[in-house]
Structure 1
């Protein structure tokens, strides 16, 4: 179970690093605007918010990666950090879909890997 937890947690972290890149550095590019459903007119207005949100995603990824790194030496601390990171990612996906059902695809993309990581982290206890 621990191996699956590590794989899904790291995959979730990498996905959130990618989201950070999109939100913080590529926000106004056409492909990124299309991904997030943002118009060319709205993108510059939303850029400061997206930049900030991108760093939230990066910090969740860092917490998760540090947690996974500590699983071998300090298992309880590592599990707590990995659960904090992936649990927050999952929570954000749930907020997204419960606020706007049309965002279900984005929420599934954002939340599936963290959900599996949380499941396997809990099962490995």
Structure 2
């Protein structure tokens, strides 16, 4: 089950690195604006907020990647980091959907892979 957990955690981390790219590096690009449903003026106004939030997503990916790497060194540390990273990703997805129901699709994209990873972690521990 650890392989399943690590695989889905890695996929979740990649999604969050992509979100980092969109929010922090490409926020005002037309394709990014379409993805997030913001106008050019809104993107200009919220650029610094998106930049900050993008790094938050990157940090979640880094913690998750550290957990994956640590699994091979110290299983307990690896699992703890994996749960911290993917648990935070899932919590962020829940906050997103509870703050705005129209963001359910985005929350699903953000939260499904971490949820599967966490389920596999539980299966590995039990």
Give TM-score scaled by structure 1 length.
0.98
Displacement, 1:123?
A: 1.2
* Residue correspondence of structure 1 range 79-90 to structure 2 within 5 A: 79-90=79-90
State how far apart, in whole Å, the 2-side matches of 1:12 and 1:31 are.
22
- Total equivalences in the alignment: 125
State how far apart, in whole Å, the 2-side matches of 1:49 and 1:99 are.
17
Following TM superposition, the consecutive aligned residue runs of length 4 or more in structure 1 with deviations greater than 2 angstroms are none
Displacement, 1:87?
A: 0.3
Q: Deviations over 1:74-110 (max 9, x none)?
A: 0000100010000000000001111111110000011
Identify the residue that residue 62 of structure 1 maps to in structure 2.
62
State how far apart, in whole Å, the 2-side matches of 1:72 and 1:41 are.
47
- RMSD (Å) for aligned C-alpha atoms: 0.6
Identify the residue that residue 34 of structure 1 maps to in structure 2.
34
5+ residue gaps, structure 2 = none
State how far apart, in whole Å, the 2-side matches of 1:64 and 1:122 are.
16
Displacement, 1:8?
A: 0.2
5+ residue gaps, structure 1 = none
